[in-house]
């Protein structure tokens, strides 16, 4: 029995045999003196076939996941029509006059390398997408079958170096127990799709997992990012018992999903959901979400050739707000940059985009983009409880400037006779340590805070949250991060304001007791976790949790904090996996 530590990519426990997912290597030869016109026509035919296949994959993804995750394949379709890439191919074809296969692959690999060289996680993911599409087209040109899983006959854990979105979606889910990859992170496509499919996944486990024998029994603990190879029967029994316990608790929690989360002594935080589109809104309502703590508006901007219009945004926001009626919906203004780029928005290259012109910083220098979104949001607010939130705030001046644009849009709409809701709350995400440290100053200027623990953790610890090598540092259970969270909540309460949390920590069972103890007013998480966290909160006493949180803040390590909660709150430990 051997334990391999990876990155926690998708919560859950999977136990089963290894299926090593390996594609046969494409053999691409070169044939000289070919007619460029004929070869170009072959490529056009292959691209058309690829678009048809991608459309089928997209439709399958829509059925199995949701719109925001399926949109990955819209980007794939766009890649088959990328004018710049195809122009490179045509020029090289005219120059070399060989068969199309090596030329198309060479250009795609060069394009992918350019993206990967930008040292940016978003572009690295796009790089993988380019190669995914390139391999699809090459298989069509060469007449090679698409699926490498013909040997998958029994429910198994898929082990691979990495998995493309196409690989993940095309698998027969009735035969997939979970995913384990040598590469990847919590933000890789495989991880995102695994969470959407409700499957356990561990990424960044290293090349050691690629040598696991096919058919060997392994355990995936997606919540802890652990792979246990060739476990003994006692370990298997322990994990199976825990998995069944978690399943039963989830089933029971769903029965009470639409009941409020009130602690034994009467403290009632709001439990909301993070969503990115209408299908996510419907799912959140079904799981008992009491609103939206984070509406990611990037879904309207990504994987398309041009900026969405005001009317497009208005219709999309209106459709989402209608799903929630009078429940609060916190709309985050455009958070582009860092690991999210727009192909049609020309941005200057940056050494470190995560610390560059992104999110609110970008909106403030592009008021044309910012005002279009704000106008659409204000128009959609009529009859609903919309709140507007600015991401990546670092200074008071940024908040004041952003609010000026909100007021300017209000004045424009008034003059045009277009209705909008009055008294919309305006808040900020606290995800930069500077904002957390100065929360007592910022609290005078905003109506609420929402803590983004993913970025707050990596910026506080100077550790890239997508890097498996420092994943242990970029952990929101770090005492330093918890202290910042405490200070932000206290600062908002000082002014009679409220603080929510839309980072991953809000959906962590072990964190719920601490956050209740710190007085967090709103929890926002992925829809499936809503009933689980609600059920857990109902078992707690806020005064007891306050004492627990104070004790946790004196601990020195992440492990000490987690162990403290496990010992003192068995109900949280029971659903940890």
> Any idea which residues carry the catalytic annotation?
189, 502
* Ordered DSSP codes for 487-515: HHHHHHHHTT-EEEE-SGGGG-TTHHHHH
- The strand ranges marked E within 358-491 are 385-390, 425-430, 448-451
First CA to last CA distance, the chain? 20
Distance from the Cα of residue 484 to its chain's centroid: 23
Distances (CA, A) of 501 to 33, 553, 558: 63, 18, 19
Distances (CA, A) of 414 to 309, 313, 375, 407, 409: 20, 19, 11, 11, 9
Distance from the Cα of residue 356 to its chain's centroid: 20
Token pair, residue 28, equals 């691409």
- The residues near 78 (Cβ < 8 Å, ≥ 6 apart) are 303, 305
For 36-68, b where at least 16 C-beta lie within 10 A, e where not — what string?
beebbebbeebbebbbebbeebbeebbebbbeb
- Geometric angle at alpha carbon 276, from 290 and 9, rounded to 5°: 95
Query: From CA 405, how far away is CA 542, in angstroms rounded?
Result: 40
- The strand ranges marked E within 25-183 are 156-160, 176-181
């Amino acid at each position: 029995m051997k334990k391999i530590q990876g990155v926690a990519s998708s919560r859950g426990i999977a136990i089963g045999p290894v299926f090593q997912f390996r594609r046969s290597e494409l053999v691409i030869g070169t044939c000289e003196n070919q007619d460029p016109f004929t070869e170009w026509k072959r490529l056009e035919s292959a691209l058309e076939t690829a678009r048809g296949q991608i459309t089928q994959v997209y439709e399958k993804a829509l059925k199995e996941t949701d719109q925001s995750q399926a949109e990955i394949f819209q980007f794939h379709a766009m890649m088959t029509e990328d004018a710049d890439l195809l122009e490179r191919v045509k020029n090289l074809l005219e120059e070399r006059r060989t068969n199309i296969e090596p030329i198309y692959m060479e250009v795609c690999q060069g394009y992918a390398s350019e993206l990967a060289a930008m040292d940016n996680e978003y572009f690295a993911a796009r790089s993988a997408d380019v190669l995914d599409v390139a391999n699809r087209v090459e298989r069509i040109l060469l007449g090679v079958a698409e699926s490498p899983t013909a040997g998958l006959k029994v429910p198994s854990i898929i082990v691979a170096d990495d998995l493309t979105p196409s690989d993940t979606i095309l698998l027969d889910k009735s035969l997939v127990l979970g995913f384990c990859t040598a590469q990847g992170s919590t933000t890789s496509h495989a991880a995102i799709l695994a969470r959407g499919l409700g499957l356990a996944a561990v990424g960044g486990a290293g090349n050691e997992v690629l040598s696991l024998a096919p058919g060997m029994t392994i355990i995936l603990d997606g919540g802890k990012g652990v792979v246990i190879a060739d476990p003994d029967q006692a370990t298997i029994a322990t994990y199976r018992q825990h998995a069944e316990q978690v399943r039963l608790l989830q089933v029971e929690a769903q029965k009470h999903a639409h009941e409020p989360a009130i602690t034994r002594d009467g403290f009632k935080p709001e439990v909301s959901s993070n969503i990115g589109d209408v299908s996510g809104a419907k799912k959140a309502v079904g799981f008992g979400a009491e609103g939206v703590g984070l509406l990611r508006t990037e879904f309207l901007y990504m994987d398309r050739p041009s900026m969405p219009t005001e009317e497009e945004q208005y219709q999309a926001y209106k459709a989402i707000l209608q799903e929630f009626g009078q429940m609060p919906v916190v709309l985050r203004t455009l958070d582009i940059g860092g690991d999210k780029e727009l192909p049609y928005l020309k941005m200057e290259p940056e050494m470190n985009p995560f610390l560059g012109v992104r999110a609110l910083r970008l909106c403030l220098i592009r008021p044309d983009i910012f005002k279009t979104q704000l106008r659409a949001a204000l128009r959609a607010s009529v009859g609903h409880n919309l709140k507007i939130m600015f991401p990546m705030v670092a200074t008071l001046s940024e908040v004041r400037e952003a609010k000026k644009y909100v007021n300017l849009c209000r004045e424009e709409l008034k003059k045009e006779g277009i209705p909008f809701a009055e008294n919309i709350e305006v808040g900020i995400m606290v995800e930069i340590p500077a904002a957390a440290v100065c929360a007592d100053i910022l609290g005078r200027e905003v109506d609420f805070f929402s803590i983004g623990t993913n970025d707050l953790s990596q910026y506080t610890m100077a550790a890239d949250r997508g890097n498996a090598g420092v994943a242990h540092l970029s952990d929101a259970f770090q005492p330093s991060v918890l202290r910042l969270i405490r200070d932000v909540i206290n600062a908002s309460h000082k002014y009679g304001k409220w603080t929510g949390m839309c980072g991953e920590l809000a959906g962590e069972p072990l964190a719920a007791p601490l956050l209740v103890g710190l007085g967090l007013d709103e929890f926002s998480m992925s829809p499936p976790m809503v009933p689980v966290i609600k059920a857990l909160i109902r078992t707690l006493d806020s005064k007891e949790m306050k004492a627990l949180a104070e004790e946790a803040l004196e601990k020195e390590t992440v492990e000490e904090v987690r162990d403290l909660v496990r010992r003192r709150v068995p109900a949280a430990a029971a659903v940890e996996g």
